[in-house]
């Protein structure tokens, strides 16, 4: 790691740890300050009492999930934690502590590595999660792995399996922005460059710097409004069938009810924008099912949070499959969209 000389492996870990230390009075992380942080064989964290533990891990790899050519180190560090925070949110949990591993290629510039550390630490502070350890190593391609621990009240974890026929299907936020941003990045657009339209900038931000729906997931879980939930990492066309399979149910989604991100429409055009909202992936919004009688409460929660929660369709018996009702009144099986997903990604 010749280029990393000034930022040694231990230096990287220490940098994340020092920057990620929460403010003395953290709203959410206060109760979970580590008893012993980094520097020993393992971190020591306080007992969870009666709370259940949640554990998840996600890996970002150069050339597969991102390219250093277009992903600033700071945003890469933030995203590595964000995708894990999104998983804990989708369980209705509260994130608590994480460990990371980073592999740096020999040519990595120290300022890029330092930016990754700052991004990780920034996201940790925002969400009140503790940095509990790290490992770094030389690697042939840059990768960044995070394992995140969370907690949830017993029985309040929101699984994928709780959806029942008759339930409404909802998504938070708007979809397709991330896919539109990826398209722009692959065509040479860069974040922060002057001359980007507001829509282009929003799309790029959606892709490089997704905001995990931590509070929404927590509230949807704690209130019991979400009976089943999943985060949209691979896109509606893949993640809705997963939720349905786990629940032993089918679904009908109304194409006209899917909330397409304005940036997706502006960047890609109306048709491809809609397509991106179905098959694009990496939006990290939440998809959840709720009893029909909770419709009003969900509207109120959305208003209070100033976060769109769109009813996109409903859960149906399994034998009806998972289908999209198009604007022209046709029913398309979601499997057929997945083919389109691969096509779309290849062309993006």
CA dist 321 and 331 (Å) reads 10
Q: Which stretch binds its own copies (CB under 8 A): 23-31, 129-137, 277-285, 316-324?
A: 129-137
CA dist 331 and 119 (Å) reads 43
Kindly tell me which of 69 and 141 has the beta carbon lying closer to its own copies. Answer: 141
Q: Which stretch binds its own copies (CB under 8 A): 60-68, 205-213, 267-275, 303-311?
A: 60-68
CA dist 232 and 277 (Å) reads 10
CA dist 5 and 23 (Å) reads 30
Return the C-alpha torsion angle 240, 245, 249, 255, nearest 10. 20
Q: Which of residues 283-302 bind its own copies (CB under 8 A)?
A: none
Kindly tell me which of 189 and 232 has the beta carbon lying closer to its own copies. Answer: 232
Which helix (H) or strand (E) element contains residue 340? helix 334-347
| Residue 238 CA, distance from chain mean position | 15
Pick one of 78, 118, 127, 160: the residue that binds its own copies (CB under 8 A).
Answer: 160
Are 232 and 285 in contact by the 8 Å Cβ rule? The answer is yes
Pick one of 24, 154, 187, 319: the residue that binds its own copies (CB under 8 A).
Answer: 154
Per-residue contact flags (x/-) with its own copies for residues 17 to 46, judged by CB under 8 A: ------------------xx--xxxxxxxx
Q: In whole angstroms, how close is the CB of 214 to its own copies at the nearest point?
A: 13
Please, is 297 exposed, middle or buried when counting C-beta atoms within 10 Å of its C-beta (0-12, 13-18, 19+)? middle
Q: Which long-range contacts (CB under 8 A, 24 or more apart) does 324-329 make?
A: 324/252, 324/253, 324/254, 324/255, 324/278, 325/252, 325/253, 325/254, 325/255, 326/255, 327/255, 327/256
Kindly tell me which of 46 and 292 has the beta carbon lying closer to its own copies. Answer: 46
Pick one of 4, 97, 266, 267: the residue that binds its own copies (CB under 8 A).
Answer: 97
Kindly tell me which of 123 and 136 has the beta carbon lying closer to its own copies. Answer: 136
Pick one of 28, 126, 159, 318: the residue that binds its own copies (CB under 8 A).
Answer: 159
Pick one of 17, 21, 58, 218: the residue that binds its own copies (CB under 8 A).
Answer: 58
Residue 79 token pair: 């995203």
Pick one of 157, 234, 254, 295: the residue that binds its own copies (CB under 8 A).
Answer: 157
Whole-angstrom Cα Rg for the chain:
20
Instruction: Say whether residue 216 binds its own copies (CB under 8 A).
Output: no
Pick one of 11, 14, 110, 147: the residue that binds its own copies (CB under 8 A).
Answer: 147
- Count of all residues that appear for the chain in the document: 348
CA dist 199 and 197 (Å) reads 5
Q: Which of residues 226-285 bind its own copies (CB under 8 A)?
A: 229-231, 246
Instruction: Show the 3-state SS of 135-177.
Output: EEEECCCCEEEEEEEEEECCCCCCCCCCCCCCCEEEEECCECH
CA dist 49 and 58 (Å) reads 27
Instruction: Say whether residue 94 binds its own copies (CB under 8 A).
Output: no
Q: Tell me the site size for its own copies, rule CB under 8 A.
A: 64
Q: In whole angstroms, how close is the CB of 245 to its own copies at the nearest point?
A: 10
Kindly tell me which of 274 and 290 has the beta carbon lying closer to its own copies. Answer: 290
Q: Which stretch binds its own copies (CB under 8 A): 132-140, 171-179, 272-280, 334-342?
A: 132-140
Instruction: Say whether residue 339 binds its own copies (CB under 8 A).
Output: no
CA dist 242 and 245 (Å) reads 5
Are 14 and 113 in contact by the 8 Å Cβ rule? The answer is no
Pick one of 30, 141, 215, 303: the residue that binds its own copies (CB under 8 A).
Answer: 141
Q: Which residues in this chain contact its own copies in the complex, by CB under 8 A?
A: 35-36, 39-59, 61, 63-65, 86-88, 90-91, 93, 97, 99-101, 103, 132-141, 143, 145, 147-150, 152, 154, 157, 159-161, 229-231, 246
């Amino acid at each position: 790691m010749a280029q990393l000389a000034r930022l040694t492996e231990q230096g990287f870990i220490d940098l994340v740890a020092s920057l990620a230390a929460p403010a003395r009075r953290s709203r959410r992380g206060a109760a979970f300050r580590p008893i012993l942080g980094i520097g020993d064989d393992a971190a020591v964290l306080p007992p969870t009492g009666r709370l259940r533990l949640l554990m998840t891990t996600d890996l970002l790899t150069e050339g597969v999930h991102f390219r250093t050519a277009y992903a600033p180190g700071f945003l890469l560090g933030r995203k590595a934690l964000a995708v894990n925070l999104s998983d804990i949110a989708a369980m209705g949990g509260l994130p608590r502590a994480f460990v990371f591993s980073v592999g740096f290629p020999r040519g990595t510039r120290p300022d890029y590595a330092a930016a990754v550390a700052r991004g990780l630490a920034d996201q940790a502070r925002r969400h009140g999660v503790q940095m509990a350890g790290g490992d770094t190593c030389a690697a042939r391609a840059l990768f960044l792995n995070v394992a995140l621990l969370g907690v949830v009240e017993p029985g309040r974890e929101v699984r994928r399996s709780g959806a029942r026929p008759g339930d409404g299907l909802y998504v938070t936020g708007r979809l397709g922005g991330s896919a539109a941003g990826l398209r722009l990045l692959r065509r040479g657009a860069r974040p922060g460059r002057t001359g980007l339209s507001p829509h282009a900038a929003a799309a790029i931000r959606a892709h490089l710097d997704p905001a995990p729906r931590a509070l929404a997931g927590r509230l949807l879980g704690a209130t019991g409004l979400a009976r089943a939930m999943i985060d949209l990492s691979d896109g509606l066309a893949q993640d809705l069938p997963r939720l349905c399979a786990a629940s032993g149910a089918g679904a009908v989604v109304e194409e006209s009810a899917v909330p397409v991100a304005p940036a997706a429409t502006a960047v890609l055009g109306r048709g491809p924008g809609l397509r991106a909202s179905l098959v694009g992936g990496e939006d990290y919004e939440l998809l959840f099912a709720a009893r029909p009688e909770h419709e009003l409460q969900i509207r109120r929660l959305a208003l209070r949070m100033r976060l769109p929660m769109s009813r996109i369709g409903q859960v149906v018996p399994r034998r009806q499959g998972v289908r999209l009702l198009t604007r022209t009144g046709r029913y398309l099986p979601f499997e057929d969209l997945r083919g389109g997903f691969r096509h779309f990604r290849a062309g993006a």
